[in-house]
Chains A and B, each alone.
Chain A
């Protein structure tokens, strides 16, 4: 079953006076439950592609079907709701709120959920258990190692039960041992049914994925 389907996607930017074609006619599908790596050099268009898949940006033309919904025609509010429900993000720089505790950071996406749940704290603790940080719930991010901060970010990405987890260079700030720990957690999540997309330029990281999409000059290579 398809989770993601991109048809003839184009994205143009205006950089100064020049029109830049960041994505030129990209079509691809990602099956539900897949573990996919997106590789490419900087300037290849992989970040633009990730932003569109992550509903942080909209295509200039073309169609994007996510989880059966046409998200390419949605407005900003609808896209926010889709990100909240369907997508979890993990970034290279973790992007945790330094003044909030680990637990509060994990709870952040629940602030923007329509329906009120009363067991949110238990749920957040469960997510911290999955990433092995239950005993650090009341720590501040600055008291944690890089790997622990990234595991906090993964727990935050999981809290709203998204179908898709998008990781942008998730190990870029980590040493190789920690990097493999993080990738093992992602692999385990994939085994439990989460669809995972990892954007990276590192072939060792891409090797964890079941399939790899290589992007170059705004086009999918071999696509």
Chain B
């Protein structure tokens, strides 16, 4: 019986087309209300898809970041810190020294590699182009062991011979800003009146877990930086440390903190003038932040779907009321109660699915925009797509039930009185 009615109601392709055409046309005569009802579904789908896509992209990005840095990496940064795990300094001081880095390496057995580094912003000039506020980072050769640099392959990364040379490796954005399409490799750039030769340009890396947009950085050898670009040749602001193993990380962190407090004469009760961060901590904080965003997005979309389901419900009730004669005439020409119910269910689902389609497209566009602005990869979350489609269908069906019952109760005899 049910199957027969599905057939009867025009769920065969040919009649389905006619039913949808009729649904679209009848909705067209209630444009404003239909638009509002659809807008809810659009918003619901949009937020669900955007959140799902963005969180997937963030996950991919985090994995990529952790892969680029060695696994067992700690970063010591100078300056008072905002809080645990944060790499955003409240004050930027230059209290770390090369001697601190050397002491860490000598006195702590858990250390495998140390790489002291220093950053500072300078105006950088190439021919007639000057880019102000470019971050120059002085790195020792060991840094290249800690971190995989995505070299273009057309030039070369630093070798031991470069230690004291005025050589530079340009981050992707920095190269674009400065060279505007010229090939940077082999060109001279001027930093603080010194000419540096660009030996390699990097592929884009995006923002790393420590919060720096590495693509804007120009790398130079540490010794060159300290002698040419710094007035205090022993002062640095970063120490990258790789532990011998993952299990040594916790004790190494404690060891570094104790050692540096001692060396910096920090008394009991005083705050550290440095911070030691495990990138995994940053990762877990980002994951937590992301899960809050995901939860908020889910709530937003649940609310939107609920509101739109009420919206569709109200527009469908209005439509049933204003189309009593149509229902009567359809019954008169042979529509059964099930046919009428299915018609209004189809229309409710049609509103909902139209909204879902619009939400899908705008959601994917928005995730693309976010990935471009935030410099994270673009990813489409399949579960996100699936859940939003199901949510839209459920919304359509749920909001179509009551109007359908209302429509079915209409007796043609009472309506078709001349």
Contact = CB atoms under 8 A, between A and B. Distances in A.
A31 interface: no
A69 to B, nearest CB: 15
Interface in A87-139: 89, 91-93, 95, 97, 99-100, 104, 107-114, 116, 118, 120
A111 B335 contact: yes
A81 B22 contact: no
B25 A93 contact: no
Contacts of B21: 104
A172 B418 CA distance: 9
A91 B418 contact: yes
Contacts of A77: 336-338
| Range of interface residues on B (Cβ < 8 Å) | 35 or more
B4 interface: yes
A89 B7 contact: no
A72 to B, nearest CB: 16
A95 B22 CA distance: 16
A81 B334 contact: yes
A84 B334 contact: yes
Contact of B25 (A51, A100, A118): A100
B417 A47 contact: yes
Contacts of B7: 114, 116
Contact of A76 (B9, B332, B336, B416): B336
B326 interface: yes
A51 B413 contact: yes
A47 to B, nearest CB: 7
Interface residues of A, number: 37
Interface string A9-48: 0000000000000000000000000000000000000010
B335 A112 contact: yes
B14 A92 contact: no
Given A47-B417, A56-B416, A97-B326, A112 B22 contact: no
B134 interface: no
Contacts of A56: 331-332, 412-413, 416
Interface string B69-100: 00000000000000000000000000000000
B416 A108 contact: no
Contacts of B25: 99-100
A186 B328 CA distance: 23
B333 to A, nearest CB: 4
Contact of A109 (B26, B328, B334, B413): B334
A80 interface: yes
Given A57-B413, A99-B25, A81 B18 contact: no
Nearest 10 A/B pairs, CB to CB: A84-B334, A92-B418, A109-B333, A112-B334, A80-B336, A99-B25, A95-B329, A77-B336, A83-B334, A111-B10
6 contacts: A56-B332, A77-B337, A80-B339, A111-B335, A114-B4, A116-B14
